[in-house]
Amino acid sequence: MSSITYPEPTITIFVSQRNGKKCKTHIYGWCEEYDLPKICSHLKKTYNCNGAVINNEEYGETIELSGNKKEEIYKFLLKEEICTKNKIILRGI
């Protein structure tokens, strides 16, 4: 991605059960400076899944991906230096 530095957010990765075996991965806690549609598009291409940017009343802008992508997103956030380990919260399944 780009080499622009932004304030470090506390990002939460949450996995919820849809129906049966299917899961959704929600990523929220982003700073307003991040281009979420661009990040979502990159994640969808990289991890071969569907996804969208959703405006959630409780959490603000959220990236929602199909499937359990918790570990992949965690590694992506560290690799792209969006967050450090102590600023990522993992929740859900």
Neighbours of 77 (CB within 10 A): 19
pLDDT of residue 4: 59
Q: For residue 82, give the 3-state DSSP assignment.
A: coil
Mean pLDDT of 3-28: 82
- CATH 3.30.780.10 for domain 11-92, yes or no, is yes
Contact (Cβ atoms closer than 8 angstroms) between residue 22 and residue 50: no
Confidence of residue 82 (pLDDT cuts 50, 70, 90): confident
pTM higher than 0.85: no
Place of tokens 């949450």: 14
Confidence of residue 13 (pLDDT cuts 50, 70, 90): very high
Contact (Cβ atoms closer than 8 angstroms) between residue 80 and residue 1: yes
SS3 sequence of 30-68: CCCCCCHHHHHHHHHHHHCCCEEEEEECCCEEEEEEECC
